[in-house]
Amino acid sequence: MREIKGIHKVNSPVFYSDKVLLSKEEIDAKGILPDAAEKNTLAYSILTAHNTSGNDENLKIRFDAMASHDITYVGIVQTARASGLTEFPVPYVLTNCHNSLCAVGGTINEDDHVFGLSAAKKYGGVFVPPHIAVIHQYMREMYAGCGKMILGSDSHTRYGALGTMAIGEGGPELVKQLLGRTYDLPRPEVVAVYLEGEPVHGVGPQDVALAIIGAVFEDGFVKNRVMEFVGPSVEKLSVDYRIGIDVMTTETTCLTSIWETDDKVQEFLTIHGRKEEYQKLSTNGIAKYDRLIKVNLSEIRPMIAMPFHPSNVYTISELNANLADIINIVEKEAQATLGDAVTLRLADKIKNGKLEVEQGVIAGCAGGGFENLCAAAEILDNANIGSGEFALSVYPASQPIYIELVRNGTIEKLANAGAIIRTAFCGPCFGAGDVPSNNSLSIRHSTRNFPSREGSKPTAKQIASVALMDARSIAATAANKGILTGADTLNTVALTPIYHFDKSIYDKRVYHGKADSASELKFGPNIADWPAQIALTDHILLRCASLITDPVTTTDELIPSGETSSYRSNPYKLAEFTLSRKDPQYVERAKVVRSLEEQRQKGITNEELSSVYTEIKKIMPIDENSIEIGSVVCAVKPGDGSAREQAASCQRVLGGLANIACEYATKRYRSNLINWGMLPLVCKEIMEFEVGDYIFVPNIKKAVITGKKEIEAYIIRNHTAKKTILSQQDMTEDEREIIEKGCLINYYASK
C-alpha cells in the first residue's frame, strides 16, 4: 500500500477532548474508564437518540427524513405500496436529478417523474422537479440539521459536515422506514479523523478527500465504521469545503460520517433560513475512538485519482514527474480489469512530456458547490480553454446556486473562458451526460471513476476513462488548454463571494403536500410490478452462472449505470443488463437455471439434472422436486460503490438465490441481497468454484432460521460431489425471516 503524505493511521484506540488528542498516559492519570469514554463521541449520542431497541449494542434506528431520486423512488414506492403503505410517516423527498434529460426510451423517463409527483400527492411527500437540484444539495439546503439522521437511496447520502448522520442504502431499507420498521445494525465502531494544519494554495476539498481515500480504502480501515471529523482545523475550513470532503467518505466504504459543528455551520443554516436546526456538536468530555486517521492539511497537495478507482491516487506533481512509469502501471491494471474486451491507451496522451486530456467536468453533489465553482471561475477569469479537443462542462448543484453564480458574475467568467454551463444533473457521475469519445481521458470533480461509469461500453469495443481531481486543478488544466496542471502551480488569488440563498425557486416549483388517499398514482407503460417470489425451501441447488475473480467488483459491473437508468422502473427489462459489462454470458446462463426452477414448480423433471440428483441422493435421501433451484454469482469482493438495490434485485429476477463471496465490499450491498431474498454466503476459497458447477446446500432453511455459522455444501461437477463449507455472517431476526419468506415484500405480506 502506497504511503499518502499528510495521512497517518493508528489502528488502536485513541482519546480526544477539546481539540486535542490525549495519550494513554494522560488518560491513565485522569482515571478515565474506557467504556465511559466510548459514549462521549458524537456518533454515540446521535445513534442513541435515534435508537428504538433499548439495547445500546444492537440498534434499531428511525430516521428524521429520507430522500430518493428518479431511478430509485419508483421501485421503493411500488414495494412499499405492495406491502401496505398508506402514508409517508417521515418527510420523504423525491428528487429528479438522474433521468432529468428524458433522453432514452421515449416517454418512460418523464412517466417516472409523473409517477413521483402523484406519489408525493397520494402519500404526502416532497417532489423536486428535474433540473432544480441534485438530491444531496437539496437535502443539505432544506433538510440537514445538527443531530439529525437522514436515510437516502443513493450511496453518497452524506451530510455529516452539517451535523447530520446520513446513510445511503438500497431501496428496501427505505421501504422498511416507510412501513414503520427500523434500520437494524450492531453499534458501529467510530474512527476519529483528526484534522490539523491548513490547506495550502490550490488545494481543494477533493484533494483532501482523495488523499484520505487513497490511504484507507485498500485495507478496509474504515469499512462499515463511522468517520468522525474532529480537531483544531475543522474550524479553519468553510462549510462548503467540509461538504466537499464529507461527500467523498462514501468511497472509503465507511457507514456514515459526522463532524463537529461551529459558528460556520450556524451561519450556513441561517443563510438557508433554518437557523433553528443548529446546535453545537462537540464531544462530551473525553471521547474514546476505536481508530485514528490523522490528517495534516498543510501537507496535502493537488491529487489525481487515476482510472479506475478513487483510491488509485497520486499527487499531480508526482504524476507529471513520472508520467511514463505511472501511465504504464495504470494501463496494466486496466487490462487486468478489462480483460480482452478492449484496450485502454493512455500513453498516447503523453505529448512533449506532458499529459493532455480531452475533457473536464465539474458536477454534482461533489463538484457543483458554490465555492468550487467560484474558485474555478477565478482561475479561468480572462482565460481561454481553446478550440481544440479539450472541453469543459460545469453543473451547479442546485438552481439557487446557479442563480447566485449568475448574480455575482461567476457564470460569466466561466462561460467567457469557454466552459459550457448546464443545469443541476447527476448524469456525468454515472454515465448519462458528457460521455467522452472513445479512448478519451476525462478529468472530473465528481464522485467515481469506475470502469465504463463515464458511459463507454467495453462490450461494444468502446473505452474511455475518468481521473478524479478537484475543481481548482481542473480549471488550471482548462486554462492550460487540456495539459494536466495542478492548481498549486498558479498564482491566482482565491476569492469567494458571499453566498445569498434564494429559496424562491423552491417555493415556486417544489411540491409539498399532505397525504390524500383519494389521489391516484399515475403509471406509465414501463412501470412494472416486482415478480412474485416463493419462500425458501428446506434445501437448495445452486448453479454457478458467473465467477468473478477481480479483487473488487463494483455495483456498476453488477448492473451498469448510464444506459440502464431509464429501465429502473421495469425489473424485467433492467435484468437483461445484469453483468453485461463484466460477464455478457451471465444473463443467458441465469435464464437456463431459472427455467429449470420453473419446470420444478410445475412438477416436471429435467433430464439435464438427473446425474446431479444421482449425486445428491448419495449424500441424503431426498425428493428432488423439493429442492429449489437457482443461480449464484461467485465473486471475491462484490458490491463496492453505489447503493443501487438493482445490483441484487436483477439477479433475483433472473432466478438468483445467492451470492458466494470471500467478503462483501459494503454493508448496503449485503443488505440488498437479503432484502431481495438472496443468501449472502461466504467462502474463503472462492476459486474452488467454476462456472457451470452445481452446489447443493442441504438444510439451508434451518441454517438460516437458527443462524448457524457454518453450512455444509457439495460442489457437483463431472458426476462427482465434493464437500465444502460455506458460512453466513450474523443476521438480525428480521433479516433471517426475510430470507425465509423469499423477499421483503413476502415478509410484509406475511405480517
- For the stretch 152-211, pLDDT in tens is 999 999 999 999 999 999 898 999 999 999 999 999 999 999 999 999 999 999 999 999
Asked whether the beta carbons of 157 and 67 are under 8 A apart, the reply is yes
- The pLDDT tens digits of the residues spanning 295-304 come to 999 999 999 9
Segment 354-370 shows an average pLDDT of 96
- Start and end residues for every CATH 3.30.499.10 domain found in the chain: 65-181, 303-309+317-504
What sign has the CA pseudo-torsion 362, 364, 367, 369? positive
Q: Give CA–CA dist 514/497, Å, rounded.
A: 38
- Start and end residues for every CATH 3.40.1060.10 domain found in the chain: 7-54+188-197+217-299
Which is the CATH superfamily of the domain at 65-181? Aconitase, domain 3 (3.30.499.10)
Write out the three cell numbers for 336: 487486468
- Start and end residues for every CATH 3.20.19.10 domain found in the chain: 539-750
Q: Can you list the alpha helix ranges (DSSP code H) found in 418-544?
A: 427-430, 471-479, 504-509
| Class of CATH domain 7-54+188-197+217-299 | alpha beta
Label residue 627 left, alpha or beta by phi (over 0 means left) and psi (-120 to 50 means alpha).
beta
How high is the pLDDT of residue 664? 94
How high is the pLDDT of residue 1? 58
How high is the pLDDT of residue 562? 66
Q: Is the pLDDT reported for residue 93 higher than 80?
A: yes
Which is the CATH superfamily of the domain at 539-750? Aconitase, domain 4 (3.20.19.10)
How high is the pLDDT of residue 108? 87
- Percent of the chain surpassing pLDDT 70: 99
How high does pLDDT run on average in the chain? 93
More confident residue, 453 or 7: 7
CATH 3.30.450.40 fits 303-309+317-504, yes or no: no
Segment 548-565 shows an average pLDDT of 84
Confidence tier at 319 by pLDDT (50, 70, 90): very high
**Amino acid present at 242:** R
Segment 540-562 shows an average pLDDT of 91
How high is the pLDDT of residue 684? 87
- The pLDDT tens digits of the residues spanning 683-712 come to 988 899 999 999 999 999 999 999 999 999
Asked whether the beta carbons of 261 and 278 are under 8 A apart, the reply is yes
More confident residue, 341 or 741: 741
More confident residue, 482 or 626: 482
How high is the pLDDT of residue 353? 93
Confidence tier at 83 by pLDDT (50, 70, 90): confident
What sign has the CA pseudo-torsion 245, 248, 253, 255? positive
